[in-house]
Amino acid sequence: MSNGAFPHTVSVDTITVGIGPVTIDELVSVARYGAQIRIADDSREAITASRAIVEELATDVEPHYGISTGFGALATTFIAADRRVQLQQSLVRSHAAGSGAEVDREVVRSLMLLRLSTLLTGRTGIRLVTAETYAAVLNAGITPVVREYGSLGCSGDLAPLAHCALSIMGEGTVRDASGELMPAADALAAAGISPVLLAEKEGLALINGTDGMLGMLSLAIHDLEKLITTADIAAAMSVEALLGTDAVFADDLARLRPQLGQGASASNIRRMLDGSPIVASHKGPDCTRVQDAYSLRCAPQVHGAARDTLTHATLIASRELASAVDNPVITLDGRVESNGNFHGAPVAYVLDFLAIAVADVASMSERRTDRMLDPARNQGLPAFLAHDAGVDSGLMIAQYTAAGIVSELKRLAVPASVDSIPSSAMQEDHVSMGWAAARKLLTALDGLTRVIAIEVMTASRALDLRAPLAAGPATGAVRDRVRIDVAGPGSDRFLSPEIEDVTAAVASGAILAAAASVVADLY
């Protein structure tokens, strides 16, 4: 989503954040739709108890990391009590060193929600007023300007989180709920929020977490669940349009290889094709088709592998959502301990893994689109599905667009998590690059959405060109939904707006909803 105002659709009006984990659906409600946050009572008690431990250690003559010392390579430098407020403020200011384009509002809100969730576990030693101010900024729709570059995904997403911490200090630049760019001090004043003067440990607690990469992973999981099912829908439409067979999607064949994702995708495609007059038209003894091309026949295997990858990523995300990531951390028995839980490797790996799956699903989709446009392979349809081939080019260049996106997705599938680079005078000598993995995954998801949309648009035209044979009930419902925005076959016209309209329908779930209106239990 853009950096403008919130959309009007709200999934959940209010969520309660406490010691337990935030769910992905709750995260999407806050990040994308502006749901409000309420702090649970048990978190208020836990925060008060852990803060008492920090304040006691602050009076100790012995140094304690993050409380009375410097940070990173300066961890052995003792800081006197009268300079610790300056220490925390300086930490945030110096670490708010991002560069590049603004990060989307929903990404910033997701990372802020997840940082707040960790603060509310009572394991960071932060003051209650600081957590309350952080929640108030989110509830007011104030979104700090976070830049694209700055996180190495270790010691947390330091720069992005520091930009957010800066805003509750009344510093830096933010966008208000309407999307207007303004100084943080002005936005806080307009919302009636008092800036926070950070105390011992708080600056570190506000910036030391995997929240940025985890927020993007959670958003990606939410969106990819819909996209993989929409890819099944598109594949079914292409199989039908290309006079392919539905026999290969039989349940007993899928069970011979009990991969769960494959079984789900095969079921979706099989049921999307159920009752299709086009499929029935070539099932008789006169049909000479023995085997369809891999991009048709093996769609459940590829889509299913993506499903199983998504299942694994969801498991990792659920564990991370239940984590309290900070360094040092206040343990349940009251110790203050340094640790390495801020390292983003678990999240970075699955972000890279999903980018591979996204590229492959898109690659197969583009191959089906190309097949429908080629008169040597499209089973009697016009070249490029053109109205008057030669005079008209039909959807020729729509396939170019899909091919260009797929090529980009292959480059985005190169792992970021293997590209560690040392920092902080070699104290932080191995990093996850999880933030970079997350940024490229979100770009890849946008590409997949567009490639699937082009396949759906192409298949819809191909099904129309099979007249007088009719599409099946489910595929026909999807074709009819496309026709709300895009006219049927005819002379060449301006294609770009049509591609954008169908892309929006895929992204919003409208294509999935059209199919589900006939096949109610799509996986």
* Dihedral of the alpha carbons of 455, 457, 462, 464, in degrees to the nearest 10: 150
Q: What is the residue-wise DSSP string for 308-344?
A: HHHHHHHHHHHHHHT----SSEE-TTS-EE---TT--
Give the position of tokens 């600056």. Answer: 203
Q: Is 65 a catalytic residue?
A: yes
The span from the CA of 193 to the CA of 1, in Å, is 26
The answer to whether 230 and 507 are in contact (CB under 8 A) is no
CB within 8 Å of 14: residues ≥ 6 apart: 35, 36, 37, 38
The answer to whether 104 and 1 are in contact (CB under 8 A) is yes
Give the position of tokens 């669940």. Answer: 225
Q: Is 128 exposed, middle or buried (0-12, 13-18, 19+ CB in 10 A)?
A: middle
The span from the CA of 341 to the CA of 477, in Å, is 49
464-469 long-range Cβ contacts below 8 angstroms, 24+ apart: 464/488, 464/489, 465/381, 465/382, 465/385, 465/489, 466/241, 466/278, 466/381, 469/277, 469/278, 469/281
Which of 33, 65, 149, 523 is catalytic? The answer is 65
For 306-345, give one letter per residue: b (16+ CB within 10 A) or e. bbebbeebbebbeebbebbbbbbbbeeeeebeeeebbbbb
Count Cβ atoms below 10 Å from residue 401 Cβ, excluding itself.
19
CA distances from 65 to 51, 191, 201, 292, 333 (A): 15, 35, 9, 64, 18
Whole-number CA gyration radius for the chain: 26
How close are the terminal C-alpha atoms of the chain, in Å?
A: 26
CA distances from 288 to 162, 279, 284, 312, 325 (A): 65, 14, 9, 41, 61
Cis peptide before 258 (omega within 30 of 0): no
SS3 at position 246: coil
Residue 144 has which token pair?
């700090």
Phi and psi based region of residue 275 (left: phi greater than 0; alpha: psi -120 to 50; beta: remaining)? left
Give the position of tokens 């409000």. Answer: 36
Nearest to 499 by CA among 458, 442, 448: 458
Catalytic positions: 65
